[in-house]
Structure formats: C-alpha cells, structure tokens
Amino acid sequence: MLAALAAAYCSASSAQHPYPVKPIRMIVPTAPGGGTDLLARVLAQKLTENLGQQVIVDNRGGGGTTIGAAAAAKSPPDGYTILVHHISLGFNQTFYRNLPYDALRDFAPISLLAAQPYLVVVHPSLPVRSIKDLVALAKAHPAEITYASGGAGSGPFIATELLKQVAHITLLHVPYRGSGPALVDVVAGHAQLMLATMSLAYPHVKAGRVRALAVTSPQRARTAPTIPTVAESGLASYQFVGWYGLLAPAGTPQAIIARLNAGVASIMTADDVREKIAGDGMDPMTSTSAEFGAYLKSEVERWAKVVKATGIYAD
C-alpha cells in the first residue's frame, strides 16, 4: 500500500513538474572553436527553444576529450547535464589504459547528431601540394614535419595516426588543448600539418591561409568537390569520417532520454538547421537511443582492434 501511494505521489509530482524545470548544462569536451563546439552551439540554441529552458554550453577541453567526458559521466543522472561528444569516445576506451570512465557503462546514448570528413591541410610554406608529395617529403625527412591536434586521443590525432600507419611515415606530434587552437597555430606556421574537420578547416582553405591536400571521406565532399580524397591520392585503404552524438550520464530516466531524443530529431531534421550544418561541412543525422548505443559499441570494438594492432596507446 505504501509503495503504491509513493508511486502515485511520484507520478503526480512528475506531472506537475515536467522535465525540464531549470537550465541544462551541455558539456563539450573540447576547446571553443572546433567542430564539436560549433555543432554543440547550434544544438544548444535550438534545444533551448524546444525545451523551454536555457541549454548552456560548458567547454571542458583537455586530456584528449577525457576531462569533459569524465565530468559528464560523474554528474547526477537527472537530465540536467548532457554531453556532446565525437568519434574519440569510442577510440579512447582502448587508447587510454586508465580511463576514468567506461564509454559503454557510464553513458546513456541519446542520439547521433552528425558526421563529417576531415581535411588534410598544411601551412603554405610546406612544399607539398598532394598526399603523394607529403608522403615523399615525410619519408625523406622522418619526424621533421610537425602535425597539430587537439591532444592525444582527439579526432585529428586519431585521423593522423591512421594516416601515418597507412602511409608508413613518421611525423612529430604537437598537441594542443583543442582543435581550434591547434589549427590557429597551423595557420600561423607554428605547426605544418593538421587533419581537421571540414567545418573547422575549410574556411581557412577558402581564405588561402592553409592548403588542402585531400579529404578523408570515401567520396569527395559536396562542399569541396575539387579536393581529392586521400584514397584516390594513392592511399587506397585510408578513410576517416568523424561522427558526433549526444549522451547523458548512465541512469538518466528513460522518459528524459526520450524527451531529449524527440527534441534532437525535431531539430536535426529542420530545414534551417540542416542548411546550417551542411554549410559547415557536416551531414546531419538522427537515431534512436538504442541505435546510437549499438553504434557506439561497434565503434569501441572497431577502434580497439586498431589500437591493439598499431600499439598507439597513451603514455
């Protein structure tokens, strides 16, 4: 009887106070200015309108995205902390030997958000104009060409390490606390090479501040059809497409997950958002929570094989 009364009270309370009733924190595990941050800010603005409560972006860069992800994983599972993450969530599960969270156990997937290729870009002073030129120069001068990334375990790091493995070259890694600051230093000439998201790098390519050598997707990008793929540039087995997703701490009530998933589905299929995301070089996506969970599991398994085969563990 008491249990039934308690359940009835909770149900009535929930009906009187539907989620959300206060602002929501959206953790972004990268510095401002990168692809994840750009997408998160579009989503936060639209979710604010959709949910009727302010969604506040909280950048927690560093540690190859592990600092922000750990903060989200350890937050109360009440729907008031959510996380926008990307492909490194699956990669870092094996790359870091002592990760402070488990990608599959400690998060409740909400929805996939978008996917996008990366661009291989170099400072104009580097005397290369193609992937073939880059590989030849790197082999002639091993470990002399510097590449920037948002830190070990970040998307640019993963993409470049794969390129190194496929091309059999050695590059010198220069880590930063986010992809935005990393690309700034490539533009300034302090680092020579970066594999950066299309949304982050392409404006600099169009402005002539960096030179694009190739795109990492299997096909040429719609927004930059004149730029060849890495595969058609001589490294046939190479491809890399980043993804983004929205998650909450494990244990977040299913009703809240469903509410957020419905909001994301409405937002990511809206014409203005699709146009904005596509203009940034991303392909908008939606999924069910279960579909994203299954995809994340497949990504953890996929990158575990790559990390173990290459031996590229964090120090």
Q: Is the pLDDT of residue 236 over 80?
A: yes
**pLDDT-wise least confident of 13-17, 31-35, 96-100:** 13-17
Cβ pair 34, 181 in contact under 8 A:
no
Q: Is the pLDDT of residue 185 over 60?
A: yes
Q: Is the pLDDT of residue 2 over 80?
A: no
Class of domain 24-115+242-310: alpha beta
Q: Is the pLDDT of residue 294 over 50?
A: yes
> Sign of torsion, CA 84 90 96 102?
positive
How do residues 33-76 score in pLDDT, each as one tens digit? 878 998 999 999 999 999 999 999 999 998 889 999 999 999 99
Secondary structure of 229-285 as H, E, C letters:
ECHHHCCCCCCCEEEEEEEEECCCCHHHHHHHHHHHHHHHCCHHHHHHHHHCCCEEC
Q: Is the pLDDT of residue 243 over 70?
A: yes
Q: Do 24-115+242-310 and 117-233 fold alike per CATH?
A: yes
H helix count then E strand count, the chain: 11, 10
Q: Is the pLDDT of residue 220 over 80?
A: yes
Backbone φ and ψ of 202, nearest 5°: -65, -40
> Residue 58 CA to chain centroid, in angstroms?
15
Asked if omega into 76 is within 30° of 0 (cis), the reply is no
Class of domain 117-233: alpha beta
Q: Residue 64 has which token pair?
A: 């190859």
For the chain, which residues make up each domain, given as ranges? 24-115+242-310, 117-233
Helix (H, G, I), strand (E, B) or coil at 215: strand
How do residues 126-170 score in pLDDT, each as one tens digit? 999 999 999 999 999 999 999 999 888 888 999 999 999 999 999
Q: Is the pLDDT of residue 12 over 50?
A: no
What mean pLDDT is predicted for residues 286-308? Answer: 95
Q: Is the pLDDT of residue 11 over 80?
A: no
